[in-house]
């Protein structure tokens, strides 16, 4: 399989920013399988112009759109959760925890991923971070920076 075809197979076509914020009820979604998730801290700084597209999310419009992405929050403590689901199955694949508490110091603080062999082929932490980074870049137009030491 060529690299271009492999990329398209996993990420789909480039996304466009929605006219309104995407919500969980915009698509039929499934939760994580509780016994088949992994999680890890992840300290990734965000730029102020990256916050709006992360909050807005992405709703698929065609078969070539592989992801459904929505956010919840921020809550009173500035916590935002960004949910990533496969569009065809609705399976939850990733969750990013984002801290928006202090303007100018927003950052990803953690990642949770689906490690089901059946649903993802057994994604590990390294793969999860790599895939989420590319989904953010390709679908949301947000290039995540390198992780920094906490």
Is the residue at 52 inside a domain? yes
- Res. 84: pLDDT tops 90: yes
Is the residue at 148 inside a domain? no
Is the residue at 147 inside a domain? no
| Structural domain that includes position 36 | 3-140
Task: Decide the pairing of beta strands 67-72 and 107-114.
Answer: unpaired
How many domains are contained in the chain?
1
Is the residue at 149 inside a domain? no
Residue 77: the pLDDT is 95
Q: Give per-residue burial for 78-98: e unless 16+ CB within 10 Å, then b.
A: eebbbbbbbbeeebbbbbbbb
Is the residue at 89 inside a domain? yes
- Res. 93: pLDDT tops 80: yes
Measure the CA–CA gap between 51 and 21, rounded to whole angstroms.
12
Is the residue at 84 inside a domain? yes
């Amino acid at each position: 399989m060529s690299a271009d075809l492999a990329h398209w197979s996993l990420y789909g076509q480039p996304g466009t920013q929605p006219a309104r914020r995407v919500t969980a009820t915009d698509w039929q979604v499934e939760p994580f399988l509780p016994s088949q998730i992994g999680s890890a801290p992840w300290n990734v700084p965000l730029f102020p112009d990256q916050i709006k597209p992360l909050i807005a999310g992405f709703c698929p419009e065609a078969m070539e759109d592989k992801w459904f992405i929505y956010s919840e929050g921020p809550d009173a403590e500035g916590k935002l959760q960004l949910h990533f689901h496969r569009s065809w199955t609705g399976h939850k694949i990733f969750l990013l925890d984002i801290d928006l508490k202090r303007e100018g110091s927003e950052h990803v603080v953690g990642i949770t991923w689906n490690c089901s062999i059946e649903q993802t082929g057994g994604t590990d932490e390294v793969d999860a971070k790599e895939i989420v980074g590319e989904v953010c870049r390709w679908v949301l137009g947000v290039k995540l920076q390198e992780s920094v030491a906490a």
